Structure 1
Amino acid sequence: MVKKTIAYVMILVAVGIGIYWYSSGANIYTLTSVPVEVKDELFGTTETHWEETYRPGLDVLGPAMGGLILIASVLLWLARRDGRRPQPE
């Protein structure tokens, strides 16, 4: 029962990581800076400045999600295998 609970929590964490990745821009690669357009009030021109930020991409979060799902799958398999063993009398 404990293995199943841990496995389900790991799957939920992996889904949460996927939702975070999608909502932060679904970037394939990790971004360390993003372009921000700044409008000059005096002349009406726009300039692009790079703002330092960290947005993790699929190259970082993908293996994390894959590892969590792999470990959860093994735990679910072990829990099912333990449940099928005949109980000694």
Structure 2
Amino acid sequence: MINSIKISNFKSIHNEVTLNFDDQLIFNMLFGKVGSGKSLVFEAIKQFKEVFLYGMRSVERIPDEIKTTYTIEFMIDNQMIHYHTTLNYDKSEILY
């Protein structure tokens, strides 16, 4: 179960955005005004998945972005795991 996802420095997401998920709910919703960045959050999560599975070559470079940071907190077998990674587009590398 994913408990939270934090994203920063992804396109127009400059400050850290935190999504908290409640394991007591059947589903979680993301809503906001038009143009507030809802789709961008899903695009950032998709990019994280692509990099995690296939490496930096799987995503296009994002100009003017120095480092995108992801922190994912999830529970496996009653153990809380924190996974933090930073993507460096200038060097096409993943910093853990």
TM-score, normalised to structure 1's length? Answer: 0.26
Q: Which has the higher contact order (CA 8 A, sep 6+)?
A: 1
Who wins on radius of gyration, i.e. which is larger? 1
Larger helix proportion of the pair:
1
TM-score, normalised to structure 2's length? Answer: 0.24
